């Protein structure tokens, strides 16, 4: 079997690569979180768009330098910071 040298994936293939469903993949595309292109009526996802999305998502989900995430930072009175 030859390696897959394609640079564009179908939406279903992109979803499979991310481990998500087709509906969520369309949500990510529609919101602009994952870049896509149209070739005629076809909706294609560049491989590097998936890599960019994963890198950005990883960076956004890293804890702050204090070790607390925004959702866990609370003041002594119980309100969010």
The sign one gets for the Cα dihedral 72, 60, 32, 23 is: negative
| Domain residue extents for the chain | 10-59
pLDDT in tens, the chain (81 residues): 456 788 999 999 999 999 999 999 999 999 999 999 999 999 999 999 999 999 999 988 877 665 555 545 555 555 555
What pTM, to 2 d.p., does this model score? Answer: 0.69
Angle at 54 between CA 18 and CA 52, to 5 degrees: 115
The sign one gets for the Cα dihedral 11, 15, 18, 24 is: positive
């Amino acid at each position: 079997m030859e390696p897959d040298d394609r640079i564009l994936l179908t939406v279903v293939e992109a979803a499979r690569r991310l481990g998500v469903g087709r509906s969520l993949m369309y949500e990510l595309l529609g919101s602009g979180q994952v870049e896509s292109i149209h070739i005629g009526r076809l909706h294609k996802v560049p491989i590097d768009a998936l890599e960019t999305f994963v890198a950005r998502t990883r960076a956004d989900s890293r804890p702050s330098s204090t070790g607390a995430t925004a959702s866990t930072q609370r003041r002594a009175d119980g309100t969010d910071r």
